[in-house]
């Protein structure tokens, strides 16, 4: 299988790209309590991009015929329970993606790359 999900019907094919899935994941992460930013896989010196920027930053989609998994690289808000935030993010992303894709998600792996402060609201 390519990096797309192919679903052939009587009307033709439906291709859902990893970028489309990443957009769904980005939205779910943006709504998750305690997540203040997404990070690069090899984040250096605590530099992170906030969720409102590049929607594909910190999201790695792995799809084959047999499996479908997502890796997330995040910045967690300082002062709250990291494990609780990561577990909630896993559940939120899994539910949201499975609902959108109508396909079971094998794993959501969360890699906490650092701690930060939530951006101030204007």
| Helix locations, the chain, DSSP H | 18-30, 82-101
Q: How large is the C-alpha radius of gyration of the chain?
A: 15
Distance of alpha carbon 23 from alpha carbon 25, whole angstroms:
5
User: Domain boundaries in the chain?
Assistant: 5-116
Q: What is the number of residues in the chain?
A: 122
Pick the CATH number of 5-116 from 3.40.449.10, 3.40.50.2300, 3.40.50.300, 3.30.70.1350: 3.30.70.1350
pLDDT digits (tens, 9 = 90+) for 105-119: 999 999 999 998 877
55-67: pLDDT as tens digits: 678 999 998 877 8
Lowest mean pLDDT among 3-17, 78-92, 104-118: 3-17
For the record, the structure tokens of 69 come out as 């998994």
- Supply the DSSP string of 92-106, one letter for each residue: HHHHHHHHHHSS---
| pTM, to two decimals | 0.78
């Amino acid at each position: 299988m390519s990096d797309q999900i192919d679903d052939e019907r009587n009307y033709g094919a439906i291709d859902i790209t990893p970028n489309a899935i990443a957009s769904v994941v980005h939205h779910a992460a943006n709504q998750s309590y305690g997540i203040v930013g997404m990070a690069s896989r090899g984040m250096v010196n605590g530099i992170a991009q906030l969720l409102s920027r590049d929607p594909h930053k910190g999201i790695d989609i792995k799809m084959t015929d047999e499996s479908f998994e997502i890796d997330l690289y995040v910045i967690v808000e300082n002062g709250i329970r990291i494990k609780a935030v990561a577990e909630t993010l896993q559940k939120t992303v899994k539910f949201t993606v499975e609902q959108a894709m109508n396909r079971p998600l094998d794993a959501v792996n969360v890699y906490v790359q650092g701690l930060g402060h939530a951006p101030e609201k204007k």
